[in-house]
Structure 1
Amino acid sequence: MNKSLLAVAVASLLSPISNLHAQQASADETMVVTANRFEQSTESVVAQVEVVTRQDIDRIQAKSLTDVFRRLTGIQVSQNGGRGQQASIFVRGANSDQVLVLIDGIRFARAAKGGVDFSQLPITFVDRVEYVRGARAAMYGSEAIGGVINIITVANSDNEKTAVSAGLGSLDYEELSFVSGTKVGENGHLNVSVGYDSDEGYNVHPMPGINDGDRHGFESRNALIGYVHNFDQQWSGFANFRMFETISQYDGSYVDYVTGAPVHSYKEAEVQNSTFAAGVKYSGSELKSDFLVNYQNQDNWNYEQSLGKNSASATSDELEQLNVQWVNSYKLTSALTLSGGVDWRDEAYIVKPSNTEYDRTNVAYFAALNADADKLFGELSLRVDDNEQFGTETTYNTGLGYRYAEWLVVKAAYGTSFKAPNLYQLYSYYGNAQLEAEKADSFELTFGGLIKDVDWSITGYDTNVEDLIDYNYATSKYYNTDGESQLRGVEMVVGFDTSFINHQVSANFQDPEDQSGEQLIRRAKKIYKYNAVVSFDEVDVSLGYQYVGERPDFSEDLAAYSLFDVSVNYYANENLTLNGRVDNLTDEEYETAGGYPSPERTYYVNATYQF
């Protein structure tokens, strides 16, 4: 990390990733678009926000998005084993399907069962991640209870460099990528990204005497092409296409409950996802307006590897989603911005081979007023979602911040949110067409500031969720629970420099409870994280540490664990960078999902040539 980047990191509301946002004025403001759907300085955002740049991703040598998320404040990762296995996250105790995931500002079409599997999303074409904690339904609608994660790709980047990267690692890991950005004429810009990675894996669900010797690996291919054209200083247009295909092996072995005989099952899951987006943008001195259309299609297969995906026992489904959105912002004065727009979405769930199709349409209107004066800043937003399946939901959010001094900034926010039942929960064999949307209200209070070059913040939050959707194993149906689930906690973040070392420390103390007062499955009450970057002229070293406390699972309690990861980057010259990474440095034995041991110590090496 160079000196200017260290200065930015110290002058920001620091997170476990080096580029968190400034709460006090600085010459190097961090700008975000995710919090309120228009570009603004993080100093004017009431919510807690973190930004991860491509440089951050490369510095820690992240092999997947879960590697990035593990370092972020308030996030806990749960995964059924190693690379390519199903991975979900919890944000401040909120479930994975209560966290809205965007790709380039558009809702990502979820898997059939509703939760985004982060192990499937390729990191090759990721340019930036913006992470907003807390309720954002008044901006985005369903699922934005715990927060919003916006994965911004290289599709609209103005980068004019080309890089080729190759790497090897433990478990026969291989990776190869090509990313290029170039000008086309005077007013155009073309971005291309292609990536491949795979590993042979290990036995992620060992059952002695049944699946001995099995290895559950992963293979991914991805590509992206994007073009941006500037018609003049105010008008621009864009079009892009991206796709990824993943194949992962997993264990389906079991003991027959009638005969008691073991049954070996070696299965594969295949995902094919493609997305096309196009739009136009107007950017004037006061008015900014974006109009875009986005179409997503995802096919999913599950089958016995020996039989293939065309076998009679294979299962498959298809998910389609068409989005149209129009977002506007107008600067009323130097301190006031009015924004609003329309979101239209049609989504379909298709069960194969019968080709039974279930679909629904959602139309939403939203408006917001944001203020940023000398001492005060705040936001007020309202959204109405009209869904043909579950009716109308109205959500709102209000927040106020006060800059008392450099050493103290106070922020408070209150918002309502909801999560609509997904199409699988409604219409599958296990579905319940009478399900209602989950509803939540959230309050948070933050104190932060800069004291003698130590950046600090403390946030308390309280979220209550009604009508939580759960699965009844007795009836094999989804249902709405009675009572309220409560997600309460305190998160503390501190960042500082000592000589050439940048330190980031966070601690989360949370109490995620279901309607019966029991601790929610797989959610720890204590999470500690420490991240450091040691910078020299030609070398930087990144160290990551996390402690996750014990937590209940379906049939057993999961033990607490501590993990150390380290990565080294050697900048041989202006073109060539050599990298090394060690995950689970102390070879800790741990599980984030019961019965699925996480990887042992693993090693990776990588070389990147840029021209």
Structure 2
Amino acid sequence: MSLSVSRPLAGIASVLCCAAQAASPSPAGNLEPVVVTAARAEQPLSNALGDVSVIDAETLRNAGQSSLAELLQSQYGVDIATNGGPQTTTSVFLRGANSAHTVFLIDGQRVGSSSAGGAGINAIGLADVERIEILRGPASGLYGADAIGGVVNIITRRPAADRPLEAHGSAGIGSWNTRKADAGLSGSSGMWRYALSAGHASSDGFNATKPTEPGGLFDPDRDGYREDHAAGRLGLTWADGQDIEASFLRSRLNGQYDGGDGFDDRMIQKTESYSLASTNRIARSWTSRLRVGRTIDDNVSLYAPSAFDPAGRGAFRTRQTLFSWQNDFALAAGQSLSVAAERREEDVDGTTAFDPSSRNTNSLVGVYRADLSAHHIQGNLRYDHVAAYGSRVTGGLFYGYDLSPAWQATAAASTGFRLPTFNDLYYPIYGNPDLGPESSRNVEAGLRYHRGNVEAGVQAYRNKIDNLVVYQNPFAVNKDAVIKGITLNAAARLGATSLRASLDVTDPEDRNTGQTLTRRARQALKLAAEHRVAGWLLGAEWLASGSRLDTAYNASSFSNETYRLGGYSLLNLTASYDLTRQLRLQVRWNNVTDKDYEFARGYATPGSNVFVSLSYQP
């Protein structure tokens, strides 16, 4: 990794840090964000020792029509790839790790596919989401298997306490005949609180592939989608400190993709999450949290029938049943301990039969936190016993030292692991039942600045991954990789203007070949600004990404070939006007310069497009 990046990093940091003197203080009553992902318990964001950030409700509202993947792409340390549009297979890379190295949670509950790995986030709309927490770096010591790159916790809308019935909604239309509408209500009455929302979106879309697609999948048509979603909560506070809540989220995406000329290929992705949780304060210093839940990842592909597959249909369904009992203890002043027992039951079925088709994981986890004057410590330790794989122990140790009221130095070491998926192990032809679990060892150090409305940070890390599962002509095999990187991020609010900047330089290397791991960029610069004038909020976003490698099957040579995809830069503009205190008109213009770029060889990405919406928010 070149040290030449240190100058622009230092430049951005100095500009925004020096702006601290000009920054106005936070408005009275403006509460600091609270996060739960970094330590499995609530804490102010400024106290979190892990590399965590929050996409809050205001950012979500200002984002306009952005998909979940596009929204994550705007954050530091995050790269994405799609196979031809928001309705197609979507990958999220945290700190250069594989897409299957990110654990996705919905309200703290794991969701994803045990057959393919990863989660069908392309089916999750933003209308039901209240905020998103992103934890970067190995977190298996907190959340178990697969958290080698990090964790994304999607938190759905919650009803406000002591508020009467309120309604909200939005509707919009844009390029490619894209239409979106959603509505919801929430409130509380006495001991009860409730929230319910639903929505629909559709688009004629753009062509998912280009004539240069090497696998013979090009089809000169438009590939659109239809998406429906709903979410709800019902809570009862039956005594002081005694609470029970039921929640659900369901989404269904029917999206077109290209699998060759002459057939309307489709993928129907369903994501569901259900949970029942009881939170009980046993004593002043002891809170119990008991949860049972189920998540479902259901994927059905419809493609041209052939002699090998007369039905023209492939289906994979993952059901995860989850049990968790966590106890949070307040110890001496500034110290806390969380202890949890968990059980996860995975069941897989579909048109391809797996044997075995299920596995269970029993886990114990402990998290200790201490704030001792200028010293801050967090220790995570987790034991997982996985059927057919035995036991795994992972953990993390985090330390922070306050150099001054504005500056903090941090250091951390953590481990992670990932289990091969059922596809990796048992899928016909390319599955390999002899694959071993992946394991990772990560070290990192950072420096943070926070004063008034200005914050900045620099983080350097090295994540070594053993037994990385990769596909090699065409079998799944274990290899080794190491990911080194440095990230600088900064943000400032200067009166009516907000600024955000980040620079990521990553070196994700396959140790066996020396090549960069596919479909992720080595450099990414992200800039954003918003300015409020009268009733207008004007915004601009600029993303510059370096080149990336991609390995794709070439139908002409009957072999896998490696391609270099060029770098690109994107400019997005937003404008919104508050017609009333509750009613907002918003315009978003993506890819203003109509840049032609690729995340994957031969697959198209959105050209210049516009979306206009009207929203009501009490």
TM-score (norm 1): 0.89
- The match for 1:266 among 257, 260, 264 is 264
| 1:28, distance to aligned residue in structure 2 (A) | 3.5
Distance in 2 of aligned mates of 1:456 and 1:29: 16
Q: 1:298 to 1:198 in 2, by over 3 A?
A: same
CA distance in 2, matches of 1:318, 1:48: 33
* 1:134-181 deviation line (CA, Å, top 9, x unaligned): 121111111111111100012566575311211100011000101211
Q: What is residue 190 of structure 1 aligned with on the other side? A: 194
Task: Output the CA distance in 2 between the equivalents of 1:192 and 1:502.
Answer: 32
SS at match of 1:119: helix
Asked if the contact 2:113/2:317 (under 8 Å) is kept, the reply is no
Q: Which residue of 1 aligns with 2:177?
A: 172
Structure 1 residue 27 displacement after superposition: 7.5
Say whether residues 1:507 and 2:495 are aligned partners: no
- Indicate whether 1:521 and 2:526 are aligned: no
Aligned partners of 2:305 and 2:312 also within 8 Å: no
Q: Work out whether 1:494 is the aligned partner of 2:490.
A: yes
Cα separation, 2, equivalents of 1:508 and 1:202: 30
Q: Measure, in 1, the Cα distance between the counterparts of 2:337 and 2:57.
A: 31
Contact map agreement 2:304 2:312 (CA 8 A) in 1: no
The answer as to whether partners of 2:120 and 2:271 remain within 8 angstroms in 1 is no
When structure 1 is superposed on structure 2, of 269-278 and 98-107 the one drifting more is 269-278
Residues 315 and 243 of structure 1: CA distance in aligned 2, closer, same or farther (over 3 Å): same
CA–CA separation in structure 1 for the residues paired with 2:381 and 2:109: 19
The alpha carbon displacement at 1:454 in A equals 4.4
Corresponding residue for 2:576? 569
Segments of 5+ residues of structure 1 without an aligned counterpart are: 1-9, 15-21, 254-262
Deviations along 1:551-597, whole A, 9 cap, x unmatched? 11113111010001111111100231111100001111111111112
User: Contact conserved, 1:129 with 1:151, CA < 8 A, in 2?
Assistant: yes
Task: Please say if 1:449 is aligned against 2:456.
Answer: no
- What residue is the counterpart of 1:126 in the other structure? 129
For residues 395 and 353 of structure 1, the distance between their equivalents in structure 2, rounded to whole angstroms, comes to 33
> Any idea what SS the aligned residue of 2:145 has?
coil
Other-structure match for 1:259: none
The answer to whether the 8 A contact 1:401-1:410 is kept is yes
Any conservation in 2 of the 1:349–1:357 contact (CA below 8 Å)? no
Give the superposition deviation at 1:202.
Answer: 1.3
1:217 to 208, 221, 224: 224
Residue type of the partner of 1:266?
A: D
The one-letter amino acid of 1:108's match is: V
Deviation larger for 428-437 or 153-162? 153-162
State the AA in 2 paired with 1:338: L
Q: 1:387 to 1:517 in 2, by over 3 A?
A: same
Q: Which residue of 1 aligns with 2:439?
A: 439
Secondary structure of the equivalent of 1:458?
strand
Shift of 1:609: 2.4
Q: 1:195 to 1:357 in 2, by over 3 A?
A: farther
Percent sequence identity is: 25
Residue 239 (structure 1) aligned to one of 243, 246, 262: 246
| Secondary structure of residue in 2 paired with 1:372 | strand
Shift of 1:406: 2.8
After alignment, is 53-62 or 33-42 more displaced?
Answer: 53-62
Check conservation: 1:252, 1:264, Cα contact below 8 A. Answer: no
1:425-448 Cα deviation digits (max 9, x unpaired): 122213222221100000110112
CA shift for structure 1 position 120: 1.6
Are the counterparts in 1 of residues 114 and 346 from structure 2 also a CA contact under 8 Å?
Answer: no
Report the counterpart of residue 105 of structure 2 in structure 1: 102
The residue number in structure 1 matching 2:555 is none
Query: Counterparts in 2 of 1:147-162, with a 5 A limit?
Result: 147-154=150-157, 158=161, 161-162=166-167
> Secondary structure of the residue that 2:338 maps to in structure 1?
strand
Shift of 1:71: 1.1
Task: State the secondary structure of the residue aligned to 1:556.
Answer: strand
**Shift, 1:226, TM fit:** 1.4
Q: Please say if residues 160 and 187 of structure 2, whose CA atoms lie closer than 8 Å, have aligned partners that are also in contact.
A: no
1:18 aligned partner: none
Separation in 2 of the partners of 1:336 and 1:144? Answer: 26
Report how far residue 536 of structure 1 moved.
Answer: 2.4
Contact 1:358/1:427, CA 8 A, preserved across alignment: no
Q: Give matches, 1:75-474, under 5 Å.
A: 75-110=78-113, 112-154=115-157, 158=161, 161-183=166-188, 185-207=189-211, 213-253=220-260, 264-283=262-281, 285-304=284-303, 312-352=311-351, 358-429=357-428, 430-450=430-450, 454-473=454-473
The answer to whether the 8 Å contact 1:62/1:68 transfers is no
Q: Which amino acid aligns with 2:98?
A: N
**Higher mean displacement: 283-292 or 377-386:** 283-292
CA distance in 2, matches of 1:341, 1:156: 27
1:458 touches 1:492 (CA, 8 Å); kept in 2? Answer: yes
For residues 591-610 of structure 1, the aligned pairs below 5 Å read 591-610=598-617
CA distance in 2, matches of 1:80, 1:428: 22
CA contact (8 A) 2:398 2:411 kept: yes
Name the aligned partner's letter for residue 303 of structure 1. Answer: L
Contact 1:240 1:277 (C-alpha < 8 Å) held by counterparts: yes
Q: Is the 8 A contact 1:272 1:298 kept in 2?
A: yes
For the aligned residue pairs, the C-alpha RMSD in angstroms reads: 2.4
Distance 1:86 1:420 in 2: 21
Residue deviations 1:21-47 (CA, integer Å, cap 9, x gap): x9xxx9833211111101112222211
Quote how far apart the aligned CAs of 1:272 are: 2.8
Mark the CA change 1:452 to 1:361 in structure 2 (over 3 Å): closer, same or farther: closer
- Counterpart Cα distance in 1 of 2:406 and 2:217: 61
Following superposition, the deviation at residue 494 of structure 1 comes to 2.0
Q: Secondary structure, in 3 states, of the residue corresponding to 1:432?
A: coil
Task: State the shift of 1:187 in Å.
Answer: 0.7
SS for the counterpart of 2:226 is: strand
> Is residue 586 of structure 2 the alignment partner of residue 579 of structure 1?
yes
8 A Cα contact 2:223 2:257, kept in partner: yes
Residue 606 of structure 1: how far off its partner (Å): 0.4
> What code does the residue aligned with 1:281 have?
T
Aligned to 1:260: none
Moved more, 119-128 or 152-161: 152-161
Residue of structure 2 equivalent to 1:71: 74
Show the 5 A alignment for 1:40-55.
40-55=43-58
Mapped partners of 1:325, 1:187: distance in 2: 25
Once the two structures are superposed, residues 314-355 of structure 1 have per-residue CA deviations (whole angstroms, 9 ceiling, x without a partner) of 111221110001112101012110111011000011023869
Q: 1:109 deviation in Å? A: 2.8
Distance 1:575 1:273, change over 3 A: same
Aligned letter for 1:204? A
Query: Offset of 1:84 from its aligned partner?
Result: 0.9
**1:531 is matched with which residue?**
528
2:540–2:571 CA contact under 8 A, matched in 1? yes
Contact 2:218-2:259 within 8 A present in 1 as well? no
Question: Taking structure 1 as reference, are residues 175 and 32 closer, same or farther at Cα in structure 2, changes over 3 Å only?
Answer: same
Task: Provide the rounded CA distance (Å) in 2 between the counterparts of 1:435 and 1:213.
Answer: 39
Q: Which residue of 1 aligns with 2:558?
A: none
In structure 2, do the counterparts of structure 1 residues 451 and 367 end up closer, same or farther at CA, with 3 Å as the change threshold? closer
Q: Which residue of 1 aligns with 2:8?
A: none
* TM-score for the superposition, normalised by structure 2: 0.88
Contact kept in structure 1, 2:569 and 2:595, CA below 8 Å = yes
